[in-house]
Amino acid sequence: MTRILVLIMGAMATVIFALVILVILPNSMLSDLKAPPQLKQPGQQELLGRQLYISNGCIYCHTQQVRDPVFTTDIHKGLGNRPSVPADYVYDAPHLLGTMRTGPDLFNVGTRLPDRNWHLLHLYQPRALVPWSIMPGFPFLFEHKPTAEAGDKVLDIPKPYAPSEGVVIISKEAEALVAYLISLQHNYPAPDSDALEEVQP
């Protein structure tokens, strides 16, 4: 009986220690974190796009974090001009850091690739732009119609990838997801840098 009690007490102590170190302490350290002035709060369209990003599993293949150059070549690869910091994620709930980088990191994709049409075509058929891409296409985010109607936005698709008949119409969902991707721009100085302090009032 004494050994069982010791085992239970040890297990409880381990759980409490982990709770304090991994949850309570970080939460108290980051509770008063403020957004950098240059970080834009997402609008309704970007928030819808973010939900589509999550629901379509983009988070499983893409990260949103530029890692420290001491340990990685993220900055050398052009994924950002500095490592990401906690303040970059103030408006993210939950954060979408990701754990696997099967596809490129998207922390600064809006800076690297600001072309809306590129993203729309890439969503519809990635291999139309990147022949070696293993990313799945998302044609279900678009509408296929025999002909375009008034107010429709038609996606311009290269012939080898275009449907044999009809046109592909850009949906509100596709527009929202692209708006979210283009909003991912963290090219401002890190919040604790001198450059940022100079622009703050």
Phi, psi torsion values for 102, nearest 5 degrees: -70, -40
H-type alpha helices, 56-115 = 109-112
Q: How many CB atoms lie within 10 A of CB 135?
A: 17
The single residue listed with the structure tokens 């239970």 is 8
Q: Is the pLDDT of residue 114 over 90?
A: yes
- The three-point CA angle 157-141-136 to 5° equals 75
pLDDT at residue 179, rounded to an integer:
98
pLDDT at residue 33, rounded to an integer:
78
Q: Is the pLDDT of residue 197 over 50?
A: no
> Which residue ranges form the domains of the chain, and what is each CATH number?
44-189 (1.10.760.10)
pLDDT band at 23 (very low <50, low <70, confident <90, very high): confident
The single residue listed with the structure tokens 């990260």 is 63
Distance, in Å, from the CA atom of 84 to the CA atom of 96, rounded to the nearest integer, reads 12
* Residue 80 identity (one-letter amino acid): G
Buried b vs exposed e over 141-180: b needs ≥16 C-beta within 10 Å? Answer: bbbeeeeeeeeeeebebeeebbeeeebbbbeebbbbbbbb
3-state class (DSSP) for residue 198: helix
* Predicted TM-score (pTM) of this structure: 0.83
Mean pLDDT of 46-53: 97
Burial class (CB in 10 A: 0-12, 13-18, 19+), 102: exposed
The single residue listed with the structure tokens 């509100």 is 172
Mean pLDDT of 173-188: 96
